Chain A
């Protein structure tokens, strides 16, 4: 029975990962499709491939941080289920309300809420929580700053070149690299969150030794491959849906701005992944796009939209935590 429950919760975690890829496909492929550097199906495959192979490039520090967000001594199948349910419920609720929220932070909030409901606040890893909380603000600011600086530098480098068509062609080509880098960063940071959840679940169910977290790169390969596979598959599926909604906010980027925004966001994600900081890829690329917009003119940024986004960011962790707490208590009553 316990094994069946573990399999079910692993499946829910992988579905969560799939939906994450589905959601975030737009961030990876919007600019390359909008500027017709790649056909939609090529862009989708390109992003999915780099999502999948990112575990070969970046360490599994984020998975480690997520697995330890709640003390492994109190992790149980019910706790992980409640954490996932809280994150999923929060994502559906904010999507229904039209608020952009981060599924990564919803997952962290969900695990914290379920942990508090089970054993109290002392089981929450405050180091990871503080680091994650600060980087909710820092990651878009780093993306913004890098994108701003990169665009100013690039504009300065090319301003004397008269053949604008050649410059444009060069940047269209460079978009392939920047989109690949962003997909690598996305795959690394986001797939690792699910890896951390599955690792915590297996430790809680006594199917994995907790000392495996002392060497995060020694996580079982099937966890790593299934998480990267799920997010890559989600990106492939989501990409097709996004293609139909092209012409929204991201399409206004020129190839040069697109390259700068994606490169800046990728650099931020690499930094965060390397330091074991779970960040939102959506927050990061949003910050980078605002950076590109504000390097051109301030009116290029829709500030009323930005304000709503910030509120959604701030509320995600406490909101999903409350839902997960309620879910955990319901699970306990039904047991």
Chain B
């Protein structure tokens, strides 16, 4: 990816998504308490969506 063509915001969001997903297995499971795995997966999905939207936005700006 060249400096002009890459979208730093999309890259950052994608990195955040990967880190969020990688940390899910580290989350402990406590008896009598709800699992917090959903937090990691929600962050992962949301950041992937943001990365895609950000990249699309960046691409449309480049075309203009």
Residues of chain A touching chain B, judged by Cβ–Cβ distance below 8 Å, are 126-127, 130-131, 133-134, 137-138, 141-142, 144-145, 148, 275, 294, 298
Q: Are B36 and A142 interface neighbours, CB within 8 A?
A: no
Given contacts A298-B8, A298-B9, contact A130 B26 (CB under 8 A): yes
Nearest chain A CB to B53 CB, angstrom units: 10
Nearest chain-B residue to A275 (Cβ)?
B36
Q: Are B28 and A131 interface neighbours, CB within 8 A?
A: yes
List of A residues within 8 angstroms of B47 by Cβ: 141, 145
Taken together as a complex, chains A and B put the C-alpha atoms of A294 and B15 apart, in Å, by 14
Nearest chain-A residue to B39 (Cβ)?
A138
Nearest chain-B residue to A128 (Cβ)?
B28
Nearest chain-B residue to A294 (Cβ)?
B9
Q: Are A142 and B28 interface neighbours, CB within 8 A?
A: no
Q: Are A130 and B9 interface neighbours, CB within 8 A?
A: no
Which residue of B20, B26, B28, B36 contacts A141 across the interface (Cβ within 8 Å)?
B20
Q: Are B27 and A145 interface neighbours, CB within 8 A?
A: no
How many residues of B sit at the interface, in one of the four size bands?
10 to 19
Q: Are A126 and B19 interface neighbours, CB within 8 A?
A: no
Nearest chain-B residue to A131 (Cβ)?
B28
Q: Are B36 and A131 interface neighbours, CB within 8 A?
A: yes
Q: Are A134 and B23 interface neighbours, CB within 8 A?
A: yes
Taken together as a complex, chains A and B put the C-alpha atoms of A134 and B39 apart, in Å, by 11
Nearest chain B CB to A120 CB, angstrom units: 20
Nearest 9 CB-CB pairings of A with B: A127-B28, A298-B9, A130-B28, A134-B23, A298-B8, A134-B26, A134-B27, A145-B46, A141-B43
Taken together as a complex, chains A and B put the C-alpha atoms of A149 and B47 apart, in Å, by 11
List of B residues within 8 angstroms of A142 by Cβ: 39, 43
How many pairs of residues, A versus B, come closer than 8 Å at their CB atoms? 42
Interface of B is mostly: helix
Interface of A is mostly: helix
List of B residues within 8 angstroms of A138 by Cβ: 20, 23, 39-40, 43
Contact flags B4-33 to A (C-beta < 8 A → 1, else 0) = 000011001000100110010011101001
Can you give 5 contacting A-B residue pairs, CB < 8 Å?
A127-B30, A134-B40, A137-B19, A138-B40, A138-B43
Taken together as a complex, chains A and B put the C-alpha atoms of A141 and B16 apart, in Å, by 7
Taken together as a complex, chains A and B put the C-alpha atoms of A142 and B36 apart, in Å, by 13
Nearest chain A CB to B32 CB, angstrom units: 12
Which residue of A126, A144, A145, A148 contacts B28 across the interface (Cβ within 8 Å)?
A126
Q: Are A133 and B26 interface neighbours, CB within 8 A?
A: yes
List of A residues within 8 angstroms of B36 by Cβ: 131, 275
Taken together as a complex, chains A and B put the C-alpha atoms of A85 and B26 apart, in Å, by 29
List of B residues within 8 angstroms of A127 by Cβ: 28, 30
Taken together as a complex, chains A and B put the C-alpha atoms of A141 and B26 apart, in Å, by 17
Nearest chain-A residue to B9 (Cβ)?
A298
List of B residues within 8 angstroms of A298 by Cβ: 8-9, 12
Nearest chain B CB to A295 CB, angstrom units: 9
Q: Are B39 and A130 interface neighbours, CB within 8 A?
A: no
Taken together as a complex, chains A and B put the C-alpha atoms of A138 and B9 apart, in Å, by 18
List of A residues within 8 angstroms of B8 by Cβ: 298
List of A residues within 8 angstroms of B40 by Cβ: 134, 138
